[in-house]
Amino acid sequence: MTAAASSDADLIAAHAAGDPHAFSELVKRHRDRLWAVALRTLRDPEEAADALQEAFISAFRAAASFRAESQVTTWLHRIVVNACLDRMRRRQTRPTVPLPEAGPGEPVAPRDAMAERETRLVVQEALAELPEEQRAPIVLVDVEGYSVAETAQILGIAEGTVKSRCARGRAKLAKVLGHLRNQSADANVPVTDVQVQRGRQLEER
């Protein structure tokens, strides 16, 4: 079986057994989503890159102790989120670097560019104002689309705690972002931002 055809658990086991390529394949599979979580949580590309590197180093060293009590992806996400939270606790000031307003292959109509940029900045600033204990579950559930159960596993907390923290975070976001609901159409609002606006609907998941 090739590395590409191996399961995540197989790759972890192979890495622990000394396979020099197994962990690289695991990283290749999941780095994009892990990067997205780190960037949404920290809002600073340099901070996110450093946190992701720290997380991968930690995962590389701890892989031999992985006991398959959760999925490999859950285990990796937990390490990444913890690395992000550690960096958030260490730094004294909040970053001011906004996320890119559009990635490669995501053209924006010129007439909508300013409104979309403003919307993204408002949402990112609102997320930045949330306490870290609320921001992490909001990012995972409302932005990245994880279920409450998956988020609870990633953060190592109870599902009820995830729901309550999301509820408190959404209430704070609603005060800042309420005016976005009055826009004439969602076309000017990025998908992730619409998810935050509608996040309360996910509380019962």
Total Cβ atoms within 10 A of residue 55: 23
pTM value is 0.63
When pLDDT is cut at 50, 70 and 90, the band that residue 14 belongs to is very high
When pLDDT is cut at 50, 70 and 90, the band that residue 198 belongs to is very low
Tokens of 105: 């292959």
pLDDT in tens, 46-70: 999 999 999 999 999 998 888 777 7
Are the C-beta atoms of residues 87 and 42 closer than 8 Å to each other? yes
The mean predicted confidence, pLDDT, of the chain is: 76
- Choice between 100 and 156, residue whose per-residue pLDDT is larger: 156
Residue 107 has a pLDDT of: 43
| H-type alpha helices, 43-102 | 45-62, 72-90
Average pLDDT, integer, range 108-121? 56
pLDDT in tens, 129-167: 888 888 889 888 888 888 999 899 888 899 999 999 999
- The Cα-based distances of 100 to 64, 68, 95, 118, 182 in angstroms read 37, 36, 14, 12, 24
Residue 5 has a pLDDT of: 61
**Least confident interval from 28-42, 83-97, 123-137, 186-200:** 186-200
Q: Which residues have CB under 8 Å from 72's CB, separation 6+?
A: 8, 9, 11, 12, 26, 66
When pLDDT is cut at 50, 70 and 90, the band that residue 121 belongs to is low
When pLDDT is cut at 50, 70 and 90, the band that residue 114 belongs to is low
Total Cβ atoms within 10 A of residue 16: 14
